[in-house]
Structure 1
Amino acid sequence: MSTLLIVLVVIVGLIVLLVLWGISAYNGFISLKNRVHNGWSQIDVLLKQRADLVPNLVETVKGYAGHESSTLAAVTQARAGAVQAATAPSSSSGSSSLAQRSLAENKLSSALFNLLATVEAYPDLKANENFMNLQSQLSDLEQKIAYARQFYNDVVQKYNTRIQQVPSNIIAGIFHFEQAQYFEAEPEAKEVPKVDFSK
């Protein structure tokens, strides 16, 4: 009888350990998933601040370099695309909306780079206090966005790794934890834009 009791205690002990491990793994996934959402929220706030800054920057540049209409139109159009992508409803996984948002934001970054490169041909504009202030704010925001993207991608990497690792992938499969998408630059955004001052 005592052997049966020992076997029963061992089996109950193993079941308790398995349940405790399952709870711990589940809570770990929830924690990482919330960190992924928090990381994206931080990026979202910064991207909205940048989008709010762009019209003021365009208007300031327009006053000095109004004939650069194609560059100004490209920035305005890219901003509109970024705002539209930000307000688009997301799917349940959010992956397609994140890809669209990433593409739109990368186009805006490229258009802003072209705008700021074009400004180099206008010394009066570069000396304008309002423009210098806006350019400084934009530069600060771009640095914060880069840091927030890095933080977000680091958390996504930890979350995705945990989903793929054995034995935590069992809990991920049972509770349908899906991999998060990285916020990456699109291939065309990695290319250096060409600036032509001959026009």
Structure 2
Amino acid sequence: MKKVKNISVGFLVSFLGSVPLGYLNLVGLEIYAKSGLHNLVFFLFGVIFIETFVIYFTLLFTRELIKNRKLMKVIDLFSVGFMLTLAFVFYLNFNHPAESDYYLERYLIYSPFIIGVILNGFNFLQLPFWTSWNLYLLNEKYITIQRKLKYYYIAGTLMGIFTGMLSVIIILQSVLQDPNQFSKGILPVFIPLFFIALAGIQLFKVYKKYFSVY
């Protein structure tokens, strides 16, 4: 019963966490639109490869990470800079018409799996996300991590991430009437603004968490 509970809780938390539109989902959408399901699956494998280590170590050191305020502050501030960097990179790519149709293909020579590994490797927002969730689940006794039971929880989270991202990307692609128009007309404006908005939200959270006197 504990094994099933760990898998179910892990799947639910990670599935819901992967559904909101994030930069990994947007990159996955581009890969799916231009390179097909096969490359998308390998991209997602790269994402969950990194996620495996993040979930495992945050699960083991959740309480220690929460107490290390300086480390969490550095992580939060780095996340702001990372989002602004992504906005700038996407803006440059989309505003070079001669190259905009081929920028993703250039990256794909490194394989979608490597792209997933690299992009998720810089996704430091997942550290506070998993640290907070793991602490809550442990305190409320929704999961048990003694001995091998933690591996069932991790397996559930990985299945949830893969299923959630795959579902969102396929659904988004299916509702787009004109993928080329979406890629050429909407993404050049939407993606940089989306990352700037995320950076703004994260910066507000950092201010409220570390600098606000109230």
TM-score, normalised on structure 1?
0.33
More helix by share: 2
Structure with higher Rg: it is 1
Greater relative contact order structure (CA < 8 Å, 6+ sep) = 2
TM-score, normalised on structure 2?
0.32
